[in-house]
Amino acid sequence: MRGLPASLVLASLLAAGPVAAGEWVRLPGGEFQSVLRYEDTGGKVAVAPFELQRRPVTNAEYAAFLRGQPDWRRDRVPSLFADQGYLQRWAGPLEPGPEAQPAQPVVEVSWFAAQAYCEARGARLPTWDEWEYAAAADETRVDARADPAWRERILAWYSVPSGRALPEVGRSPANVHGVQDLHGLVWEWVDDYAAMLVSADNRDQGDPDLRKFCGAGALSMDDRENYAVMMRVAMLSALQARDTTRNLGFRCARDVAEGDRP
Partner 1 sequence: MSRLASLLLTTLLCLAAPLVAQAAPLPPDSAYLLEDTYTDQAGQDFLLTDGRGQPRLVAMFYTSCRYICPLIIDSAKGVERALEPEERQRLGILLVSLDPDRDDVAALKSVFDKRRLDAERWTLARTEAAAVRRLAAVLGVRYRPLADGEFNHTSALVLLDADGRVLARTERLGAVPDPEFLAAVKASLADSMTRN
Using the minimum distance from each CB to partner 1, give the nearer residue, 112 or 250. 112
Using the minimum distance from each CB to partner 1, give the nearer residue, 40 or 222. 40
49 binds partner 1 (CB under 8 A): no
Footprint of partner 1 on residues 134-193 (CB under 8 A)? 191-192
Select the span of 91-99, 131-139, 163-171, 209-217 touching partner 1 (CB under 8 A): 209-217
Stated length of the chain? 262
For the bound state, the minimum distance from the C-beta of residue 177 to partner 1, rounded and expressed in Å, comes to 25
Footprint of partner 1 on residues 111-130 (CB under 8 A)? 111-112, 115, 119, 124
Edge-to-edge strand list for the sheet holding 50-53: 24-27, 50-53, 253-255
Rounded Cα gap, residues 36 and 196, in angstroms: 8
Among 24, 32, 81, 227, binds partner 1 (CB under 8 A): 81
Quick check: 108 and 245 in contact, CB under 8 A? yes
What string of DSSP letters covers 175-212?
Answer: -TTS---TTTT-EE--TTGGG---SS-GGGSS-GGG-S
Quick check: 187 and 249 in contact, CB under 8 A? yes
Q: Which residues bind partner 1 (CB under 8 A)?
A: 38, 40-41, 78-81, 111-112, 115, 119, 124, 191-192, 194-197, 209-210, 212-217, 240-242
